[in-house]
Amino acid sequence: MSDSPATIALGQPTVGEEELAAVAEVFRSGWLAGAGPTCRKFEERFAAAVGTRHALSTSNCGSALYLGLRVLGVKPGDEVIVGDYTFPATGHAVLQAGAKPVFADVRPDIWSADPAAIEALITPRTVGILPVDVAGQPGDFDEYRAIADKHGLWLFEDAACSAGATYKTRPAGSLADLAAFSFHGRKGITAGEGGALVSDDEELIAKARKLHTYGIEPAISREGSDELPIPTFHEAGYNFRLSDIQAAIMNVQLDRLPQLLAARRSMAKRYTEAFDGLDGVQVPVALPDREHPWQAYILTIAPEISRGAVAMRLRERGIQCNFGTYASHLQPVYGEQEPLPVSADIFRRHLAIPMHSNLTDTEVERVAEGVREVIAELS
C-alpha cells in the first residue's frame, strides 16, 4: 500500500443528495428531454440571477456563443474582435459563424482584452467585440461599451467562467448585448456540461430559441393546445438544447451558488496570503470594483523558472496543476496573426493550482507549502 498523500484535484464539482433528488423528480415527471418545463424554470431563475430579462439554456457554452453570433447577424467577411487569452471555443465560434476572429492583446494584470488594443483593431469590416472574462473576473466593460457605441458595434460577453461575478455592482451577464455562460464540470456551478445565452433583448433570445431547436419552437410551446399544431421549418437549426435532467441539477446549483462563491473566495484569500512576498511567483489580481468568482487560481511563474519543472514537481507531490489557458493567436487553426506579446508571455508562464469549493484547510496549506518548496528548489 502506498503511503503517498491523496491527490488534490485541480477542479471538482460540489454535488450531492439535493441534485440526485432533483433528477429523481424529473424522472418521475416523464419529461427528460431538452427545453422542457425544468429548463424553463431554470432559465427564469438564471436570468434573474445574472440581471437580465431573458435566458436560454444550451448544450454548452460553445453552442451559446455560436447562437449569439448567428442572431447578431454575423456573416462571412465580417471581423469580430476577440480577447486573445481564452480557451479557443471563443475564436472557434467566430470561425463557425463564417467570420474572422481578430485577436486583441490583454491587460497584464487581469488578462482580459485591453480596450486600447481593441480600438486599434477596428476596421470597416468589424461588426462586434467579444471580450472574455478570464477566470471569471469581468474586463473593462464601461470602456468596451464606449468603444462599441462609438463605432456602431455590438458587444457580446464571453462569461463562461463568470457565474456570480460582478463589475461595479452589476452582475456578469448583464454587461453587454448578449452573454454566454458555461456549466462545464470545472465551472463554479455545473451540470457536467451545459451553458446559457442571456440578454435583455427578447427578439435575440427568441431567434436563438428557434435555432437551438432545429429551427422551430420547442415542443413545450405546443403543450395544452386543443388542436394538433404542426411546426413549420423556415430555416435549418440545430439541437443545442440542455436536457431537463441537467436543468434540474442546475436549479440546485443555483441554490448553492452563494456558498460556493464564498468558499472559493476564502480559498483565494488564503492562497494570496500564503504566497505574499514569495519571489518567483506573482499572484492573480482581483480588482476592487468587481467581485471575482475564482473559477481558477492562476499563478504567474517568473521567466527564469521553468513552469514545466514546477508543474512536474507539484504533481509528484500529489498536487494537480495545469497551464492557465491559451494565447489564441498562436493556434494554427486561426492562420497568421499579428504578435500579441502580453498574451503570449502569460501563456508561457501561467500555472493553475487547485481551486474548487471542496478544498479543505489542510489541502490549501499543503498546496501552498508545495508551491513554496518547489519554487525554492528551482530558484
**Cell numbers representing residue 57 in the block:** 439554456
Q: How far is 318 from 18, CA to CA, in rounded Å?
A: 30
Residue given cell 434540474 in the structure block: 248
Instruction: Look up residue 26 and give its three cell numbers.
Output: 424529473
Angle between helices 17-29 and 37-50 (to 10 degrees): 140
360 φ/ψ sector (left φ>0, alpha ψ -120 to 50, else beta): beta
Using alpha carbons only, give the angle 148, 153, 154 rounded to the nearest 5 degrees: 95
Report CA torsion sign: 79, 80, 82, 86: negative
Report the C-alpha gap between 159 and 51 in whole angstroms: 13
> Do residues 326 and 302 touch, judged by C-beta distance below 8 A?
no
Angle at 60 between CA 99 and CA 134, to 5 degrees: 70
* Pairing, β 195-199 against β 54-58: antiparallel
d(CA 267, CA 357): 8
| Beta strands at 290-291 and 281-282: parallel, antiparallel or unpaired | unpaired
Report how far residue 70's alpha carbon sits from residue 98's, in angstroms, rounded to the nearest whole number: 10
For residue 197, give every residue at least 6 positions away whose Cβ sits within 8 Å of its Cβ, in sequence order, or none: 55, 56, 58, 64, 67, 68, 178, 179, 180, 181, 205, 208
Contacts of 7 (CB under 8 A, 6+ apart): 318, 319, 320
Measured between alpha carbons, how far is 244 from 205 in angstroms, rounded to an integer?
19
From 100, 150, 187, 269, active-site residue: 187
Active site residue 187: yes
For residue 106, the Cα-to-chain-centroid distance in whole angstroms is: 17
Active site residues: 187
